[in-house]
Structure 1
């Protein structure tokens, strides 16, 4: 069932080898097991760690097809994946569509800007996060 598949995907994403997470995700699809929000929130960090933008974009399409784009956890994982893969334009576009932004949403943008060489934009996002009434956490720094 999907819970078992998710556990395996999460294990590989967190502990490696990360490539195996994508292999298991493909096997899951071949087995006609329908992914859920946990599946997507678990596989996107694997793409982010590998810099696998193309696979991440394919998964993004699957998220849309399966109706999980409005899930804030999935949306945050998408923003994080795009930012870590260097596509800040797409990360920002998705970030803007998140209706209930969390500290995790903002952290993905702050880190993405910083890691991609946009220091001033990172500082601006940090300020905007605070203006939105959200407190930075240890990940923010």
Structure 2
């Protein structure tokens, strides 16, 4: 039994719980004596939903899907941050900085900035200092809310702690810059990390690469792609596809083809997206023969055209008025689908 159980389990706490969540009066709430083995229903219309515990700032309802649906429907399923806040604000609860951080993070995930900041103020009133973990949670919150200035101020506050920043803290700020469209600043932080021999997570590199790719900044995409390899992360077909897309959007079809060939030389099998991008680049340059040669090479290596690549071909052939070729591509794709389903069984 949790160390705070005796403090939290009382008739007063149950009443406070009811008031805090505005639970209707026709919902009966009561403590069960330790001697009670099973709870009997008052009548046939009564359903019992036991609270397994009110301890360590948490309330745990039964996890059966039916119970969750019913409680949510009637507005009786409080979120974990709210319940934990109720305990934290009690003077008798011996909280620590991690308790506050978890609640702040919980509110941040729900985009409830005011509630998170209220907990932050309560934390400071109790004399707790924000550490790197708490400040990182705040940066995540401000980042998702689009509050760049607050995120930057929090990041600067984190630097004043005088301890080396970890990859999570850097990653949170880099993602903030990516969401704000300030890719140069995000890349600058990546270089700052590299100088300290600290490297961001794969998802951060991928997000920055995607951002450069979508706007057709092929130079920025290539820099990030190089940084990914420098960080010891092995690129997969999806990362290569983002680099290829950057070159296609920028109108550098030749470099897109080189990136595709590099993918093949690295021993990676191109996915349907990569194939579709090369076909789209060939169409943009009006190089039908090159596209057909490309497809022949793929078929020779046992790589079949997928749905997205087939759609690019169909659209291209239709614009050229090649009706028979369109029907041929559709038949071949349908045959590939049938063969794939046959192998699946």
Scaled by the length of structure 2, the TM-score of the pair is: 0.34
Q: 1:5: which partner in 2?
A: 56
Q: 2:115: which partner in 1?
A: 55
The answer to whether 1:83 aligns with 2:143 is yes
Q: 2:185: which partner in 1?
A: 121
Q: 2:241: which partner in 1?
A: none
**8 Å CA contact retained: 2:104, 2:138:** yes
> For 2:125 and 2:88, how far apart are their aligned partners in 1?
13
The answer to whether 1:40 aligns with 2:100 is yes
Q: 2:51: which partner in 1?
A: none
**8 Å CA contact retained: 2:139, 2:154:** yes
**8 Å CA contact retained: 1:60, 1:78:** no
> Unpaired runs of 5+ in structure 2?
6-54, 60-71, 73-77, 206-345
The more displaced of 86-95 and 28-37 is 28-37
Shift of residue 62 of structure 1? 2.1
**8 Å CA contact retained: 1:86, 1:116:** yes
The answer to whether 1:25 aligns with 2:84 is yes
Change (3 A) 1:114 1:72: same
> For 1:30 and 1:66, how far apart are their aligned partners in 2?
10
The answer to whether 1:109 aligns with 2:173 is yes
Q: 1:96: which partner in 2?
A: 156
The more displaced of 113-122 and 36-45 is 113-122
Shift of residue 89 of structure 1? 1.3
- What SS class does the counterpart of residue 68 from structure 1 fall into? coil
> For 1:102 and 1:109, how far apart are their aligned partners in 2?
11
Shift of residue 107 of structure 1? 0.8
> For 1:113 and 1:95, how far apart are their aligned partners in 2?
12
Based on CA coordinates, which of the two structures has the bigger radius of gyration? 2
Scaled by the length of structure 1, the TM-score of the pair is: 0.75
Question: Relative contact order (C-alpha < 8 Å, sep 6+): which is higher?
Answer: 1
Change (3 A) 1:60 1:72: same
Higher helix share: 1
1:84-130 deviation per Cα after TM superposition (whole angstroms, max 9, x unaligned): 22222122112112232111110110112212333232222222222
Q: 1:12: which partner in 2?
A: none
Change (3 A) 1:118 1:63: farther
Supply the RMSD in Å over aligned alpha carbons.
2.7
**8 Å CA contact retained: 2:85, 2:103:** no
**8 Å CA contact retained: 1:47, 1:55:** yes
Q: How many pairs does the alignment contain?
A: 132
**8 Å CA contact retained: 1:82, 1:90:** yes
